Structure 1
Amino acid sequence: MLPSPFAFERPSTIAGAVRAVGKSGDGMFYSGGTELLLALKLRVIHTDRLIDIKGINGLDRIALNDANDIELGARCTHNKIANDPVIRAHVPALSSLCANVANIRIRSVGTIGGNLCFGEPHADPLTMLAALDARLVLIGPSGTRVVHADDFIRSELETVREPDELLTVIAFSRPTGPVTYRRFKHGERPSVNVAMAWSLGPSGRTIRSARVRVGALGSRPQPLKAIEDVLQGISVAEVRPAIEAVLPTALGELEVNEDRHGGAEYKRHLAGVLLLRNADEAIAAAGSA
């Protein structure tokens, strides 16, 4: 099936793209199009105009800025992130994640911004970005606003981004401890995924703070607050028994959608297995630092 007819525009600036998309939301931003074009062909969604943002300079930039934040341009493809030296040096888990998203066609063309804006619950990047406490920069007619990754998804396939806002940059502080990511998947999408990020004390043997997110169970990644609380302030050697002591309670508090990926108890079990594997990887990384 072919999509309904639409106009095609190619602005060269962010301001031009925001003007072109229109306040009424009758236009849509387009870059990789791996999700968007399929939805248009199936006529699940409709638009009068596609606004191609591939010609806008700077939207595919990756850098470590003066504030020690890593910045990802929203138009970066998964392959670009996977192979970037800044990401490989400072967040190798993100490099590995992007190197294994979907398939080679998606990784070559699909963008990190498009992945986030589509709002698909069974996706890889947002879970890790939420664990990293990433900030998403949106620019629209009213100016610039910043949304934390935890708050970006409103519900399944729905985000807080307004139709006339363009996601431009994803930024997060350079990690000061291990960052890990594990998933279990059927096909090309994760059934369950878990990301963990530690901040370590000066000795490198004590956890100052931890962020843990579980994704693909509900409409957006969920924090495991009981795990985060028990890890704060303890030594790396105490991690596994501390997690095991509170894990049943933490998993029981997760909201789980039963779908073709599995039932609630099955998914909770997978989340627990993946969490412990994340912990073991982080323990090993802290020990070798």
Structure 2
Amino acid sequence: MSRVFLYNLNKYMDDTKTIQVITDITDASYNEMFAIMRGVAKELSNDSATIAPVAPVQEFSITQGAFLIRLLAKSYITPVVLFANVSPHETHKTDVIGKIKGKDIIFIGSNNGLFDWITRDFDLDYLAQINVKKPYVVDGRLIYLPGNNPPENYISRFGNKTDYLTFSAHTIYGPIAVALALGMDYKKFGDDMSINSIVPLEISNGEIVHIDNYGNAKIYGSLKFSPGTKIELLVNGKKISEAQYINDRMMSHPTKSFVVYPSTSLLNMVDLANIRGNACKQLGLKIGDVIAFKNIG
């Protein structure tokens, strides 16, 4: 394959960004995508892009994906491309690239609600709809590079190969994420669009958007209880437990007691925990459940 490109990427290398993948693809298919991204990076820059450990999302959970994107946007203080691929929505088939104003953070992925949270909390330098339709990789072969035009005989050679169309995260958007991390202009891949085109996130106050490895629930929405308030926890109108609202050091409270407190992750959220225990396992809670909190004294 020709190594003559439209422009020299070497001048961009000092600005190389980490690629942080947020996805519900966590089986061997992720390894496929990872391999393609590493290969494209090597072809573009004679170097490998830095791809951070994957941020795994529960299958089909757009709300958890949106939470993790927002959480990681808060956490990265070095340049990063947040590449999100979670459960494309049946009726929303566009994909977007955006950049947070005042931070060296680019995001790319499906416009299915994933980017509503982050675009509500941050202003943007730009937002674009991806217009690339022809996969860069077909049947394990790199056909053309991000930033270049596809070969003139692309359709005649690959138009009948439909097997690659399902996993565009592998063959289109992963390579674009690599190119963005290496400094390519987003306009190589998309057309500017209005912020009003971002698909809203379907989420409820009290909804569990994430469960950490300790079994603590991260819950959307804030509470206005005084410290020490006793709270009844309800799911679908049914009481599941009682807890105490706190705002001091969680682990100082009695072992196996349930506590609710301002989230350690993001503002306007609360966490539910069982001290030195697993709250969600004990209460049978899962991502997507909605908890109501009732003041009982």
Same topology, TM > 0.5 = no
Q: Which has the higher helix share?
A: 1
Larger Rg: 2
Pairwise TM-score range, normalised by the shorter structure: under 0.3
Q: TM-score, normalised by structure 1?
A: 0.24
Greater RCO (CA < 8 Å, at least 6 residues apart): 2
